[in-house]
Amino acid sequence: MIITTFAFSPTGTSAKILKGVITGISAHSTVKPDFHDVTLSEAAPKSFSADDLVIVAAPVYGGKIAPLLKQRLKGWQGNGAKCIVIAVYGNRAFENALTDVSEFMSAQGFTVCGGGAFIGEHSYSTSEYPIAQGRPDTIDMEAVERFGREIASKISGGMLAPVNLATLTDEPSPAESLKNFREFVIGYQKQQAERPRTYLPEVDLQLCDGCGVCYSVCPTEAITEESHSADPTKCIKCCACVKVCPQDARSLQSPFAPVLSANFNHRKSPRWIL
């Protein structure tokens, strides 16, 4: 069996979790997975065999897997290869992300044999409005590696088999938190209908020294060397440019940050199915 892994990971969190899974597999298997980062460019079209295993990881955006993961992997031919999918979310909910990516991979000819939802620091998280700040932490990474060990055990026992990811349910959030969030979303949608506004990463030109790190990490080329402002037609609000700026010159003032921070600070745990 050949194990190949792919991460779409603008802020590095999904890649960190996938590498933790690889560590867990490698410790209990003679097969050493390869790692590929497809954040900045598409993977060349690939054809796999039924004896292969492919593992993909990406963040959750709006309750679905990051659309760019699908773009990066478009045109692949699974030919019955086994597949495990990983969704990384910011402690609110992974919603339909796993079934979303599962359906995509199945349509590409893969047999989905497992999936996991892991928590990572939300892209909107700041020191003022922390949202799953510092995650994945040590406890999370222990779970991540355990997931990898369980994958290795399934492989060695020849027990990797198709699973229905729709049966993997999210850990419930407090009812009051859900109520508060729903009310906020309704108000936000009404406001956007009346006075539309696009929220984009902003740059403080007094702090910016023109180092160019921001545009080097942008997965959609929404930021260019000529213009440090984000192109609203390309920006996916992944906040890679914000997280990586050495001068703290970039920020995204999302109206979602305060409500997420206030209502989803109850620690959720990783969940998976194999």
The 10s digit of each residue's pLDDT in 91-140 is 999 999 999 999 999 999 999 999 999 999 999 999 999 999 999 999 99
- Count the Cβ atoms, other than its own, within 10 Å of residue 202: 15
Domain 176-263 has CATH 3.30.70.20: yes
Beta bridge pairs of residue 119: 89
- Break the chain into its structural domains and give their ranges: 3-172+268-273, 176-263
pLDDT in tens, 146-197: 999 999 999 999 999 999 999 999 999 999 999 999 999 999 999 999 999 9
pLDDT at 6: 96
| In contact, 2 and 51? CB cutoff 8 Å | yes
Q: What is the pLDDT of residue 14?
A: 98
Q: What is the pTM of this model?
A: 0.95
Alpha carbon dihedral 105, 107, 110, 116, in 10-degree steps, equals 30
CATH 3.40.50.740 fits 3-172+268-273, yes or no: no
Tally of CB atoms within 10 A around 205: 9
Closest CA to 108 of 159, 46, 168: 46
Residue 30 pLDDT > 90, yes or no?
no
Contact 173/92 with Cβ under 8 angstroms?
yes
